[in-house]
A and B are shown apart, each in its own frame.
Chain A
Amino acid sequence: MVSLTASPSTRLRRLLLKLGESLLAVVIGLIGGAILMLLYGYDVGVAYSALFRGAFGDVSGLLETLAFATPLIMTGLTFGVGLRAGLFNVGAEGQMYLGAIGAIMVGSMLRMPPLIHLVTATVFAMFMGALWSLPTAFLKIYRGVHEVVSTIMLNWVAFWLVTYLITYQLADPTRAERALPVQETARYAVIGSSLTMVFPVVIALALVTFFIIWRTTVGYELRIVGYNVEAAKYTGISISKSILTSFIIGGLLAGLAGASQVLGRPPHWTVFATMGNLINLGFEGIGVSLIGRNHPIGIIFASIFYGGLLHGGRFMEFEAGVASELVRAINGIIIIALAVPGALQTFRQLVRRRGRGGEV
C-alpha cells in the first residue's frame, strides 16, 4: 500500500477505492442530514433538491459555488501538503488572516499601475502567509515543538494582530467597521456573480503544487519524510529542509486564500473588523482536505462540493424553510461522515508507523 510508485492498475484501483469511500461518505452524510431534517419536520426532498439546484443547477449558482470554493482550495492544500510531509499543519487560519492583511496593505495603501498592483498585492499577501508559517517551522525543526500546538497558538496571535491592524492602522476613516477597501487597480476582474479571476489563479497554483509534490525531487523528498522519517534520514534527505518547504508552500497558499477574499471577492474588497468574511476558512480547509484525500486534484473537487453546500444551504433555508442553523448542522454531518474514513486512515498510518519504527 505504502509504496511511492506503483503499477498503473494498482494506482487505478487505489484511486477508485478512495473515490468510492468519499462518495459513500457523502451518501452517509446526506442520509444523516435527512434524518435530522425529518426529526425537525422538514420536507427532505424539497430541501435537498433546493440545495443542489441552488448550488449547481444554473450558471449563477455554479459561479457563486466556485466563489465559495476558492479560498477552501488553498487552505485545504495548506493542510494537505502538511500531511504529505507528515505534519498536522492547522495554521492555515492564521496564515490566511495575515495574507488578507498583506493584501490590504499593498492594495489599499500603495498606488501602482493596474496589473502590477494586482500582482504585487497578491505576491505580498502570499509572502505574509508564508512568513507566518516560519515560527512554527523553526520551532518544529530546532525545538521539536509540535506544530498543532504552535499553529493553534499562532492562529490566535494572528487573529488579535489583524484585529488590531484593522481597527487602528488600516481602518477606513469613514467606515469604522472595516479596513480600507483595496483600490480598483488591485482587484481581480469579476467573471460573474461573486466569482473573479482569482479562481483560475487558485486552480493554477493548485496544479503547480501538484507538480511540485509529485513531479519534483523536492516534493519526492517531502513525501518520503511524510511516509517514513527514519528511511528519509537514512537515504540522506534533509528532514528540516522538507519540513520547511512544506510549511512555506502551505503558508503561501493560505496567504493567497486570504488575498482571494480581499482582492477577489465583490462587493466589499476589504476585511471587516469582525473578520467575518475570513473566519473559519482555514479550519474548513482541514475538512475539505480530508474529503479530497489530501490530494491537490481531490481537494479542488472537495472544495467545489463543500462550496456548493455553503452556497446551496441558503436555498434550503429559502425554499424549504430549513433553519440556517440546521443547514450548518447538515453540512457538519456530511463533513464528519466524509472525514471519518480519512481520519481513520491517517490514524492507522500513524499507529502502523509507530509500531514498525519503534523509537521513531
Chain B
Amino acid sequence: MDVKGLTRTEAVLAALLVVALIAAGVGWIQTGQVRTETMTKTVTTTVGGAAQTITVTNTVTSTSTVERIIAPGTIKIAVVSDIGGRGDLSFNDMAFKGGDEAVRDFGVEMVELISKTEADYVPNLETAARDPNVKLIVGVGFLLSEALLEVAQKYPDKNFAGIDTFTQSLAVGNLGKPLPNMLDIVYEEHKGSAVVGALGCLVAAAYNEAGGNYPYIGGVFGIEIPVLWKFEIGYKWGCDWGLKWYEQRFGKKAPIIGEDSRYGSGPGWANGLYCPAAGECWYKGRVLWTYTGTFSDITKGYAAAKPMYEQGAIAVYNIAGPLGLGINQAVQEIATERNLANGPPFWIGVDANQDWINPGFVIASMMKRVDRGVYYATLLTVIGKFRDVVAESNGVLTLGIGTRVGRLAMEGISVSTLADLDEFIQMGVEAEKLTGKQVLPMPPEQIRQKVTEMRSRVPSWVWDALTELESKIRTGQVDVPMVLTKEAVDSWREKLG
C-alpha cells in the first residue's frame, strides 16, 4: 500500500475546490433584491375620531363598510414564506401580493421573512412575533403548520394565520382545544375543481360539435391522500354537471362525450348514462384519472398524461404540483408532432394561474387565491374581528365560492380569467428580475395574445355555463360534494367512474 502526497496541481485544485465549496455552500453568488416599498395611506375618519371607517371593495360581490377600531401607532403584518420563497409564481408570490394589497387598502406596513430551510420556520415566525408593532403573522403553506402551533402558543397576544395549514387540528390533538389566536385559512378546492371539470367536458362537447373526437377529459393526481379526493370527486362531478347543462340548453346530448356507449354497459346503463337508482343518472366514466404516487417525479406526470391524450382526452387537470410540467411535456410533444399553435390538447392548471406556462395550451387554471387569504386575515386584524372569527369558526376560515364572514363576502376560489393573467405575467416579470433567470416562455404581449386567441376559440356558451355554475354554487342552488372519507370516495366513484 502506498499513499501518495499531493502534487502541486492537486494542491492548487484542492485549495480552489475548498473555496468553491464554501462559496457554493453559502450561496454568495446570489444577487440582492430591492427592498419592498411600504407606504401608509390615510383612511377616512368619522366624526369624533373614536373610530375610523374603511370601505372594502370586494373583488367578487359586495362593498361593505366596517368599523375600524383605532390601533395606536402603526400596525405591522409579517408574512413568512415557506422554502419556495419569492419568485415561486405560486403560493409565496401570491401571499406577498395579498400583503401588498393590504398595505395599499388598510395602511398597514408589511414585513417579509423568507425561509431558506425548514429550520427557519420557527425562528422566522418568532422574530416577527417579538416585534411589538406586529399584530398579525401569516405563515404561507401547510409546511408551517407545526411551527405555527409552537409560536402561536408562545405569543398569545399576537394573531397568527396560516395559508392551507392545519394548525388547529394539531392544537386539538395536542392540547385538547383550538388556539384562540390562530386562523387556518383553507380553500374549497372541490368547488373550483367542479368548475374546471365542467369546463373540460363542455370544451370537449364544443370541439366535438366542430368535428373533433374527444370522448374524455383526464386528471393526473399526486399521492392518494384524502385532500386529493376533494379535487377528484369535485372534478368528476363538474364534468357530469356540465354535460347535463348541455343537455338542457341544447335539448340533446353532447356529441360523443355525452352520447357514446363506450363508457359502460350492463345493469344500470342506458344511453351512455349510468343510473344506479330510478331518476338518478350520471355521466359515468368520462374522466380518465391516475394517482401517480408522487408530488415530485415530473416524468410520472408525463407518463400518466400521455396515454390519456392518446385515448382522446381533450384536457388533463394537474393536481400534482410540479407534475404539471410533465403533463405540459406530453401536450408539447403532440403539439410539435402535429404542428399546432393552439390546443386541443389542453391541460388545466392548479393553485396559481398557470395559463402562461404554455400559452394556448392551458385552457384555464383552478386558482386558490392565497392573496385573498392574507388580505382577509389583515382586514380582520385591522377591524378587530380576528379573535371573534377564530372563536366562531374554531379557528378555520374557509374561502371558496360563496363563502362569507358576517356581512363580508370572503371568497378564495376562482377559475383563471384574462385579468388574472395580467397579474401573473407581472409576477413573472418580477420573478425574472429577482432571479435573473428566464421565467416567461415568451414576451408578455405574446402570452396575452395567445391566451386571448385560445379563449376566443371556445364558444361563449361554455363560459356562460361556468358563470352559471359559479353563481349556483354561490347561492346554494347546487351543492358540490366534498369528499373526505374512503367510503364517500368509493360511493362517488361508483356513480362517476
- Interface residues of chain A, those whose CB is within 8 Å of chain B, are 36, 40, 42, 54, 60, 64, 67-68, 88, 90, 140-142, 144, 146, 148, 167, 173-177, 193-194, 229, 239-240, 243, 261, 265-268, 272-274, 276-277, 279-280, 283-284, 286-287, 290, 311, 314-315, 317-318, 321-326, 328-329, 331-333, 335-336, 339-340, 343-344, 346-347, 350-351, 353-354, 357, 360
Contact = CB atoms under 8 A, between A and B. Distances in A.
A39 to B, nearest CB: 9
Given A318-B127, A321-B35, A268 B26 contact: no
Given A283-B22, A332-B23, A339-B18, A243 B3 contact: yes
Contacts of B123: 64, 193-194, 311, 314
Interface string B123-141: 1101110010000000000
A232 B435 CA distance: 51
A277 B118 contact: yes
Contacts of A240: 1, 3
Interface residues of B, number: 63
Given A318-B131, A328-B27, A336-B22, A177 B295 contact: yes
A243 B11 CA distance: 19
B225 A174 contact: yes
B25 A326 contact: no
A314 B23 contact: no
Interface of A is mostly: helix
B118 A350 contact: no
A332 B1 contact: no
A194 B122 contact: yes
A337 B289 CA distance: 56
B222 A329 contact: no
A255 to B, nearest CB: 18
A254 to B, nearest CB: 15
10 contacts: A194-B122, A229-B5, A267-B122, A268-B146, A280-B25, A283-B21, A283-B25, A290-B22, A321-B36, A322-B35
A351 B435 CA distance: 40
A318 B14 contact: no
Contact of B22 (A60, A142, A339): A339
**Which among A42, A88, A240, A351 has the greatest number of chain B C-beta atoms within 10 A?**
A88
A357 B119 contact: no
A115 B119 CA distance: 25
A193 B35 CA distance: 29
B445 interface: no
B32 A176 contact: no
Contact of B111 (A140, A318, A333): A318
A162 B29 CA distance: 27
B5 A317 contact: no
Interface of B: 1-8, 10-12, 14-15, 17-19, 21-36, 78, 83, 85, 111-114, 116-124, 126-128, 131, 143, 146-147, 149-150, 222-223, 225, 294-296
Contacts of B112: 317
B83 to A, nearest CB: 5
Contact of A329 (B30, B83, B111): B30
Given A324-B114, A325-B33, A329-B31, 4 more contacts: A90-B17, A318-B127, A343-B19, A347-B11
Given A60-B126, A336-B22, A277 B28 contact: no
B31 A277 contact: no
B143 A177 contact: yes
A289 B28 CA distance: 18
B33 A283 contact: no
A326 B35 CA distance: 11
A277 B29 CA distance: 21
B486 to A, nearest CB: 13
A299 to B, nearest CB: 15
B83 A274 contact: yes
A351 B15 CA distance: 11
A267 B147 contact: yes
A167 B78 CA distance: 33
A239 B3 contact: yes
Contact of B11 (A194, A279, A340, A350): A350
A336 B4 contact: no
A146 B22 contact: no
Contacts of B30: 325, 328-329
Contact of A323 (B8, B24, B35, B146): B35
Contacts of B34: 323
A40 to B, nearest CB: 5
A173 B225 CA distance: 8
A40 B35 CA distance: 9
Nearest to A65: B123
Given A274-B83, A318-B127, A336 B32 contact: no
Contacts of A272: 118, 143
A44 to B, nearest CB: 14
Nearest to B7: A354
A343 B15 contact: yes
B184 to A, nearest CB: 16
B32 A40 contact: yes
